[in-house]
Structure 1
Amino acid sequence: MTGMSAAELSPSAHIDTFARDHLPPVDLWPDLVFDLPGLQYPARLNCVAELLDRHVAAGRGARSAVLGDALTWTYAELQAQVDRIAHVLRADMGLVPGNRVLLRGANCSTMAAAILAVFKAGLVAVPTMPLLRARELGIILDKAKVNAVLCARSLAAEFEQVEDHPPVVYFHDPGHPDGLEARMARHDAPFAPVATAADDVCLISFTSGTTGVPKGTMHFHRDILAICDCFPPHTLGARADDVFIGTPPLAFTFGLGGLLLFPMRVGAAGVLLEKLTPEGLLAAIERFRATVCFTAPTFYRQMTPLAARHDLRSLQKCVSAGEALPLATREGWKAATGIDMIDGIGATEILHIFISAAGADIRPGATGKPVPGYRACVLDDDGHPVGPGVTGRLAVKGPTGCRYLADERQRDYVLDGWNLTGDSYEMDADGYFYYRSRTDDMIISAGYNIAGAEVEEALLRHPAVAECGVVGRADEERGQIVEAHVVLKPGHEPTPATARMLQDFVKAQIAPYKYPRAVRFTDKLPRTETGKLQRFKLRLS
């Protein structure tokens, strides 16, 4: 199978057809490519039957599945919890296949089991970040027409401010007779996975909001397996004896894949911990003997000076994604741990990482090459592919792709079958892809195109700089000027002399016309809950 379209959708198992009814029009879908033998999925498929039930049926039920501070669940124990929650959803709450369930909680075993239970019951999961406010939750509830909610009791206050919200059952609420734990205790029978179509929607994941306007991205049961069958086996080299750990929330597709789906696909274990700090993540790697770490560049940068305090000998692979990986961060982590980071770019629209490199294939400064199963190229402004050495729009296609929930921006993301990620990239003669900027972050100053990420890279090499973000600021004379927002390390003062020192440093690092003509010092940078820098807020400040 080299390509598929919406016209080939299988008969749905959904009684509530909202999700399929609100897929984008057929002609706005990206091309879907299933070149790898491992991507040939049957027409009827429930992803949890493959990710969880298969292991138990094959005699692997005693293997550790989910690890945490308070408990460890084996695959058999996880299956039992998932089945109990599925019964609560279907029998107690009266939900039918295709209904949407909003999930709200930090990384923990119950949140993981709840997501899997929604999938298994033929429902559609709508995971949300713990820090979302009532207004943001209201937008998601309305856009996805959510039918029910599973929410951690600790997050109830914000949720209860949402007017006219659907029925909610709270978890981590063991003393309450109507809490999830009490309801689960009333069910002990196995739950047979609903025989969903491979292309039934099972996940609506909302973008993390770097532009300020979230979009709902719709993913199928086969998409869940496809991301597990591309990056993990072919680039990461995931194994059954791995222990995965990291910081991204399960509500973020980077975390859902890296901490839950990827380990389950190979029968490995995932560590789920709440509110990790850099020091806390290092301590957890040591405590759980973790072998694979997923987090953002900012966390690796903050962990680097602390790494020597911990026994990290178990750690073998470190995956960086969520935003561009500065070369200085890569080099610092390598010096501290001896580990070459696996950089990667993914997108909520495409579900997970589609360009990366590992081991001997790593080329410092490059994100990597297309992950097996995906194709990528660079397009010019007219939508034509360009050759090596030319910066343009990154375009991707593979077994997953963008399908926005009732959103006109679908027309902007898909062009001639390609997914346009919103990133500016350059490809070299060997097929490696180099990040230049977000397409809306390119700074044009006095006729020069300046990538903010390159200026950030230079600033981060200065010993006084803890963090920075670079944007364009409107200027009458030059059109735009480069403006740097800088967080200084302790012991350095935010003075005009410090600003001049940083400007001179950048001039010595890269072409002088790229230096920040304005330097603004700040105590912290605006970031999403997943760690992405919100440059639109810097531009508005």
Structure 2
Amino acid sequence: MYKDQAIFNAASFFIDRHLEEGRGNNLAVISGEHRMTYAEMASGVNRFGNALKSLGLRMEDRVALLLPDSETYPQAFFGAVKIGAVPICLNTLMRPKDYAYFLNDSRARVVMVDESLLPVLEPVRDQLKYLERLLVVDGEVPDYAFDFAALADSQSAELECAPTCADDVCFWLYSSGSTGYPKGTVHLHHDMVFASETYARSILNITERDRCFSAAKLFFAYGLGNGLYFPFSVGASVVYLGGRVTPESVFDVIARYRPTLYFGVPTLYGTMLEAEGSLEGVRMCVSAGEALPADILRRWKDRFGIGITDGIGSTEMAHIFISNDGIDIRPGCTGKPVPGYEARIVDENFQDVPDGEIGTLLAKGDSAAAFYWNKHEKTKETMMGEWINTGDKFYRDDEGYYYYVGRSNDMLKVGGIWVSPIEVESCVIEHPAVLECAVIGARDMEGLIKPKAYVVLREGYNPTPELAREIQVFVKTSLAHYKYPRWLEFVEELPKTKTGKIMRYMLKQWETEKAA
């Protein structure tokens, strides 16, 4: 569709098209007690876009979104897209120093923030070099900010799409890096359309009669597809859970709103198996973000009579590009390339390896990001022409099914979110009792990866359970909660090379031996 149009704006495809094709009365969003049809959503998008224009925003200007999942999010996102501005979806779980980095790195002129999240910006407000407007949504507005809802309400509900093309920059997501510095991952106007026309149609078989619910939030690439552009691609509806995701809250949403498509991550699926609840109305469960342990899949199917369709996606590819097909679900298997995508497994010289041999996974598809913002060398390493180097280790069997083995670097996937061991180590070392630290991934009782810290203490400190808990609390107050080490093991010294580098593979070997 987009390839045949000289002018193409994603907001026209995901919002305006539904009014033109008679779906204006379809329910678009359920968010708590709020309901919005596609006609109401289109009006809201236009008012939001006009509000941004009234502040002087132009094509390619960046607008940071620090918002919980609610009916406001799609209005803000597509309102920016419609005027040719570029929304940047920010993780709501981060710390003030992270937001200083995001906003300075992106040079966003405007940030839209929920009133509940203002405290995380306040400590770094004077460090934001490029920010011109702080727009508060849904709550009390301090003197230094603007009431965005009031501003939007005063705007016209009519708005023409900016004359963007399919290859214009549309939105950013931040992808974590092995050095701890996130990368602004730049996506184009056609990327969401391609992911919708491939994965959403061929794997999910999504239609306007579906109702989506994603436990993964909208600021994740996975959640943005599940909860925004997949349902909006066909005129379906979506349920938003703005608060904390727990097994109880998920089961409550399913019971109250009867979604047909449920999207989770393995860690959550594991904890849901320990809670009371049912899946009545759900026709398909989807998992991504980290490898789904075969045992969780078996137990889930035994209890609920429905499988979990596992797949792998990435921020760089926008969404899932290898997946089981929902019918032929193989425990421990990631599946086959989604129609429209291609995959290769290569050696260190980027030559294809034989089936059964482990190598690095490369992926190809038209939803791939264009580049990393201001990260030229990393762009060249990752975006190799038509192929994306995922950094994941896989092998393919003789039937063409792909199996995940691990990461090429030391990055960890915890609850579907990337965690840099270096960042966690740097935080642990700030504790006055710690001399050295090394963090690796260890498996919990469900077989899921969580951070584990090996710690060498300074002279005068004794290794006790109380000190371990104190260090864990210290990390929790400094970093996002999901990054803290679930286990601390005190050791006399860390294994190192002759040049003093920590031998992580030795620590991983220790974990393997303990498990055996």
**TM-score with structure 1 length normalisation?**
0.75
Give 1:297 shift.
Answer: 0.5
Residues 49-448 of structure 1 mapped to structure 2, 5 A cutoff: 49-91=12-54, 93-162=55-124, 163-165=126-128, 166=131, 167-173=133-139, 178-208=146-176, 212-274=180-242, 275-306=244-275, 309-402=276-369, 403-407=371-375, 408-415=377-384, 417-441=386-410
| Alpha-carbon displacement from aligned partner over 1:411-453 (angstroms, at most 9, x marks no partner) | 221346421101000000111100000112499xxxxxxxx99
Check the 8 A contact 1:104/1:152 in 2, yes or no: yes
Partners of 1:241 and 1:359 in 2: CA distance: 18
| Counterpart position of 1:14 | none
Count of matched residue pairs: 441
Give 1:164 shift.
Answer: 4.5
Counterpart amino acid of residue 221 in structure 2: T
| Alpha-carbon displacement from aligned partner over 1:139-175 (angstroms, at most 9, x marks no partner) | 1112111111111111112212222431111000378
| CA separation of 1:111 and 1:416: change in aligned 2, threshold 3 A | closer
Residues 481-492 of structure 1 mapped to structure 2, 5 A cutoff: none
| CA separation of 1:199 and 1:417: change in aligned 2, threshold 3 A | closer
| Alpha-carbon displacement from aligned partner over 1:240-288 (angstroms, at most 9, x marks no partner) | 1111002212111111110110001011001111122111101101110
**Secondary structure of 1:161 counterpart:** helix
| Counterpart position of 1:490 | none
Check the 8 A contact 1:298/1:531 in 2, yes or no: no
| Structure showing greater relative contact order (alpha-carbon pairs closer than 8 Å, 6 or more residues apart) | 1
Give 1:360 shift.
Answer: 2.8
Counterpart amino acid of residue 67 in structure 1: I
Check the 8 A contact 1:250/1:256 in 2, yes or no: yes
Give 1:187 shift.
Answer: 1.5
Partners of 1:400 and 1:262 in 2: CA distance: 13
Counterpart amino acid of residue 115 in structure 2: R
Counterpart amino acid of residue 240 in structure 1: E
Structure 2 residue runs without a partner (length 5+): 413-439, 456-464, 466-470, 490-503, 509-516
Correspondence 1:469 to 2:450: yes
Check the 8 A contact 1:441/1:472 in 2, yes or no: no
| Alpha-carbon displacement from aligned partner over 1:484-539 (angstroms, at most 9, x marks no partner) | xxxxxxxxxx9xxxxxxxxxxxxxxxxxxxxxxxxxx9899989979799899997
Check the 8 A contact 2:113/2:136 in 1, yes or no: yes
Partners of 1:524 and 1:65 in 2: CA distance: 42
Residues 32-43 of structure 1 mapped to structure 2, 5 A cutoff: 40-43=3-6
| CA separation of 1:532 and 1:333: change in aligned 2, threshold 3 A | farther
| CA separation of 1:270 and 1:298: change in aligned 2, threshold 3 A | same
Give 1:469 shift.
Answer: 3.5
**Secondary structure of 2:395 counterpart:** strand
**Secondary structure of 1:372 counterpart:** coil
Aligned-pair identity (%): 33
| CA separation of 1:187 and 1:218: change in aligned 2, threshold 3 A | same
Partners of 1:304 and 1:134 in 2: CA distance: 35
Give 1:192 shift.
Answer: 1.1
| CA separation of 1:100 and 1:442: change in aligned 2, threshold 3 A | closer
| CA separation of 1:368 and 1:533: change in aligned 2, threshold 3 A | farther
Check the 8 A contact 2:343/2:364 in 1, yes or no: yes
With 527-536 and 272-281 compared, the bigger mean Cα shift is at: 527-536
Counterpart amino acid of residue 82 in structure 1: V
| CA separation of 1:172 and 1:266: change in aligned 2, threshold 3 A | same
Check the 8 A contact 1:210/1:534 in 2, yes or no: no
Partners of 1:129 and 1:226 in 2: CA distance: 24
| CA separation of 1:290 and 1:470: change in aligned 2, threshold 3 A | same
Counterpart amino acid of residue 310 in structure 2: D
Counterpart amino acid of residue 411 in structure 1: K
| CA separation of 1:371 and 1:141: change in aligned 2, threshold 3 A | same
Partners of 2:488 and 2:186 in 1: CA distance: 27
Counterpart amino acid of residue 302 in structure 1: T
Partners of 1:269 and 1:199 in 2: CA distance: 28
**Secondary structure of 2:73 counterpart:** helix
Give 1:212 shift.
Answer: 2.4
| CA separation of 1:304 and 1:293: change in aligned 2, threshold 3 A | same
Cα RMSD after superposing both structures: 3.2
Partners of 2:30 and 2:77 in 1: CA distance: 16
| Alpha-carbon displacement from aligned partner over 1:218-249 (angstroms, at most 9, x marks no partner) | 00001121111110001111111111002212
Partners of 1:98 and 1:54 in 2: CA distance: 23
